[in-house]
Structure 1
Amino acid sequence: MPKKFIKRFSPNPETLKAHPHLRHFGQALQNPNLWHLNRRSAAGAVAVGLFCAWMPIPFQMLLAAVVAILFTVNLPLSVALVWVSNPITMPPLFYGAYRLGAFILQENVVEFKFQLSFAWLAKILETIAPSLLLGCVIMGISSAILGYALLRLFWRFNITKKWQRRNKK
């Protein structure tokens, strides 16, 4: 069940291999373990994807691809899970991470009014960057560990159910 479910929503490996940014990895993309889906590779990909989703940087998908290649986990799944933080979910996720970081650093939460300029962005990042980065790293590590453990448990539970059904026949 989990394997079929994950494969249904995973991007096509050929499409990813042909992606302009991923073509730079060349031979590294030929490793079959990057495209194989089993409990270990899927759980690792969930951890990589969720961790990278919390990083407040551009090109999160590229970061997820690099980390997936380094740890040899399922590349399509790790890249797809980065979209947990999309343009709609990013503001509440990163604001929550900022609040967590500010709480841990015992700083006051800075209230601000959004302005669309690089000067404003540079100024506001000077004040909130440490709290935001700390909160994002903590949330990234926490969600990666939780996602990894939950997928491993879910996968094992489904395999156990399959074995029990097979033994009843």
Structure 2
Amino acid sequence: MPKPETLRNHKHLQMFGKLLHKPNLWALNRRSAPMAFAVGLFVAWIPMPFQMVFAAALAIIFNCNLPIAVALVWVTNPVTMPFMFYAAYLFGAKLLSHPPQEFTFQASWQWIEASLSTIGPPFLLGCLAFAIIFATVGYFVVHNLWKYSILFKWKRKKRQY
């Protein structure tokens, strides 16, 4: 994990100022880790620029581990993004009972504006649905793993005595 000083001095995170001095933002405990996973996985599914800044803001609001929340947005990266967002589009189309449309992606503002009315609603709904699903699952998986690791340590300690 990066040092808190490194992240506090990061040019995009300096806007948060003294808010970055909360101890729980840097602690790794049973409360901060699961929520950080939820925040990071939620933001990873939101199609927006500067996801790391948004994840940092949510980590501050929810008082959870900032490095984990920020690092998890990299689940969406140039390699995984096309697959994840296409799956979100298909899922959103299924939720809206729309037949999926054939389209060819073009990296231009004109294509995005033209596509917002056709593939935009299923895509955005799918992204929101996946954000909620993955955040919830991520929270409970990490929460339960943490809980069971503590129980396992207690049982092992008990056997030693």
**What TM-score comes out, normalization by structure 2 length?**
0.95
Counterpart residue number, 1:36: 27
Listed as ranges, the matches of 1:19-168 within 5 Å are 19-168=10-159
One-letter code aligned to 1:158: S
The 8 Å contact of residues 11 and 80 in structure 1, kept in 2 or not, is answered as: no
Residue 52 of structure 1 contacts residue 82 of structure 1 at CA under 8 Å; is this kept in 2?
yes
| Alignment deviations for residues 118-168 of structure 1 (CA, whole Å, 9 cap, x no partner) | 222221233111111111111010001100000011111111111111111
Counterpart Cα distance in 1 of 2:32 and 2:107 = 41
Q: Percent identity?
A: 52
In 2, distance between residues paired with 1:116 and 1:43?
Answer: 35
1:18 positional shift: 0.7
Extract unaligned runs of 5+ from structure 1.
Answer: 1-9
Query: More deviation in 117-126 or 36-45?
Result: 117-126
Which one has a larger percent helix, Structure 1 or Structure 2? Answer: 1
| Deviation at residue 109 of structure 1 after TM alignment | 1.2
Q: How many residues align?
A: 160
Instruction: Give 1:11's aligned residue.
Output: 2
- Is the CA contact 1:47–1:143 (under 8 Å) kept in the aligned structure 2? yes
C-alpha RMSD of matched pairs (Å): 1.1
Distance of 1:42 and 1:112 partners within structure 2: 39
Runs of 4+ in 1 over 4 A off after TM superposition: none
Give the secondary structure class of the aligned counterpart of 2:117. helix
Distance in 2 (alpha carbons) for counterparts of 1:132 and 1:11? 34
In structure 2, stretches of 5+ residues that fail to align are none
3-state SS, counterpart of residue 143 of structure 1: helix
**How many angstroms apart in 1 are the aligned matches of 2:107 and 2:148?**
49
